[in-house]
Structure 1
Amino acid sequence: MMSETALRDLNTLPSSDRKNESSSKGSFAKPFVGSANENVDVSLVSTHVNGNQTGNAGPGIANSEVEYIDSENLIDVEDIDTSLKTLIAGLDSKDWVVVCEALNNVRRLSIFHKEAMLDILGDVIPLVVKSLKNPRSAVCKTAIMTAADIFSAYNDRMIDLLDPLLVQLLLKSSQDKRFVCEAAEKALVAMTTWVSPILLLPKLQPYLKNRNPRIRAKASMCFSRSVPRLGVEGIKEYGIDKLIQVASSQLSDQLPESREAARTLLLELQSVYEKSHDSAPATVSDSPEMDSWENFCQSKLSPLSAQAVLRVTNIAREGLVIGS
């Protein structure tokens, strides 16, 4: 069950980021200054903020810049025990610089010492979610990248903690700020890559009916990517009839992303259905017509839905015949 807070979040797109914020403590401001490609060093933020003053800003004023470091370029923490002990306080800090540093430490620990952080993962993820909600772009994007590394490291072990992360990533991937949106989409790809589809699909399904069409579209794309990972036997076990009903409901959705995801899923289901029937031993009572994809669609869907599904799959089939 989704919490009331999660549902409220889902039905409201995030407001635009504040470009400049003043520190809630101390005598100096810490404006976020990003480069054109939003690629400035987050590991150097504290040095820029606390060490180097700008020429005309006056005493105590600093320019801070943030780089978003790819996972493969992160280096190990210097001291595991110290990093673990200070992690929760850092993530919960009111200083956005400290939060970014702590998020990067979560990433490093996930990559290099995932077993060491496993015991506190239940405390870490809610604070990562808090950072995902942060209006400051630097914090939000770093948290998104952190979520991707958590998926990669912990796979199915974090499935019980997934819901609040999923809500925020669907929201962030649906907003207008391009570099945040792109990062969130990559995190969703990581989720569908590293979390077992048998566990993930039930988590995604409620979002396919969300009131926000952009949320539905992103959820549809995740759903469509996850199903093939079940494999032929897994799809049959999950239920082709259930999956075809999900896909057919997205064919008439408002956004083209939803419709394209539905078409991709339907072609996958058609392929699995036909392969499974081609390989099944024939019986006396079997007839090609009764086992056909067309008959299956008509038996599982309303006439209009079956017609729409068959139109999609027949066009694809005709295209393959023409191209061969």
Structure 2
Amino acid sequence: MSGQALRDLNVLPPSELDKKPDGSVKGKVCIGNIVENHEKKTKVPTTVSDSLLNDAGLGNNVIEAGNLEVEYIDSENLTDLQDVDACLSTLSARLDSKEWVSICEALNNVRQLSLYHKERMMEMLGSVIPLIVKSLKNPRSAVCKTAIMTSADIFKVYGDVIIDSVDPLLVQLLLKSSQDKRFVCEAAVTALIAMTTWVSPSLLLPKLQPYLKNKNPRIRAKASMCFSRSVPRLGIEGIKSYGIDKLVQTAASQLSDQLPESREAARVLALELQSVYEKSQGSPTEDSKEVENADSWEVFCQAKLPPLSAQAIIRVTSTPKEALVAGC
């Protein structure tokens, strides 16, 4: 059996994931000896202390320690903890455990604490986020995906509060969203979308900017997606304040990128910038003579970009109008 085939047996593909009635997803994870039949379940011993789990009040929101069935629980299906104090007292130790089951349970506890006990969890974020980053680097897919889901919930709950700690999370999520293991990749994309939704664009865009020039084209593509999603949230005044010329230069640089995903994100960004520019130039509150003498979008692009880049931006932003005219 080839090395690739052995790797493929470690985690079942997304098509084998079963959606449960409560909204959670069950993934069958094989460790130890490789099995030929994906439906076969392999029992493995665990050294996770039952008393530790019970004391923390983990309930049914976690992975069953006695087998290999990993539960990926949607945020809306997470319930509150039975004993918050006990959970908090052991949280860091379990996040840093050598037992992967214990790590996954602790990650789910971080999600529960964030959702139901925001203020108490906030006090520990400084020490917890590095441990989440460590789990994002974990080679075991179950740990990695649970850490990704934890990151998404942290973005949703804390938003701008974690901006000073977002860099290590962002690096790992961009990496995971660029890998070949699809169910991990899709979870990472979901977390990145949560980040662009809940973290202020004025704070996030400078964090994303360096990754638009990363050597890895897949990372550039995911960073471009995040950048393109964040810019419209600035609003017209925010875009003007940030610098529409700087943003159009960013869009132009991505239009010539290697991957179609980057180019599509750049096209969407360019269209947004064109819309904002034309609205700001043609506002009905402005003097009509000033509007008449205002530079067109094409003139603006030619003034702010090298000739080839200006042509590329003008081409992608004029296509929709041309298609509309042709349709008429």
Whether the 8 Å contact between 1:104 and 1:142 is mirrored in structure 2 is: yes
Cα RMSD (Å): 2.8
1:37 aligned to 2:17?
Answer: yes
1:98-117 aligned within 5 A:
98-117=102-121
1:154-233 aligned within 5 A:
154-233=158-237
Instruction: Select which of 269, 272, 276 maps to 2:273.
Output: 269
- Letter of the 1:184 counterpart: A
Aligned residues: 288
1:281 aligned to 2:290?
Answer: no
Deviation of residue 322 (structure 1)? Answer: 3.6
CA 83–216 in structure 1, closer or farther in 2 if over 3 Å, else same: same
Residues 96-116 of structure 1: per-residue CA shift (max 9 Å, x gap): 010000000000011111111
1:251 aligned to 2:255?
Answer: yes
- Letter of the 1:276 counterpart: S
Give the aligned partner of residue 138 of structure 2: 134
Give the aligned partner of residue 87 of structure 2: 83
1:320 aligned to 2:300?
Answer: no
Whether the 8 Å contact between 2:42 and 2:67 is mirrored in structure 1 is: no
- Letter of the 1:244 counterpart: V
1:54-73 aligned within 5 A:
63-73=67-77
Q: Which moved more, 1:100-109 or 1:31-40?
A: 31-40
Aligned equivalents of 2:8, 2:191: Cα separation in 1: 24
CA 33–206 in structure 1, closer or farther in 2 if over 3 Å, else same: closer
Whether the 8 Å contact between 1:34 and 1:65 is mirrored in structure 2 is: no
- Letter of the 1:104 counterpart: N
The alignment partner of 1:66 has SS state of strand
Give the aligned partner of residue 33 of structure 2: none
Deviation of residue 63 (structure 1)? Answer: 3.5
Aligned equivalents of 1:292, 1:17: Cα separation in 2: 59
CA 94–274 in structure 1, closer or farther in 2 if over 3 Å, else same: same
1:297 aligned to 2:304?
Answer: no
CA 192–57 in structure 1, closer or farther in 2 if over 3 Å, else same: closer
CA 138–315 in structure 1, closer or farther in 2 if over 3 Å, else same: same
CA 233–59 in structure 1, closer or farther in 2 if over 3 Å, else same: closer
Deviation of residue 119 (structure 1)? Answer: 1.0
Deviation of residue 41 (structure 1)? Answer: 7.7
Identity of aligned residues (%): 68
- Letter of the 2:273 counterpart: L
- The structure with higher relative contact order (CA 8 Å, sep 6+) is 1
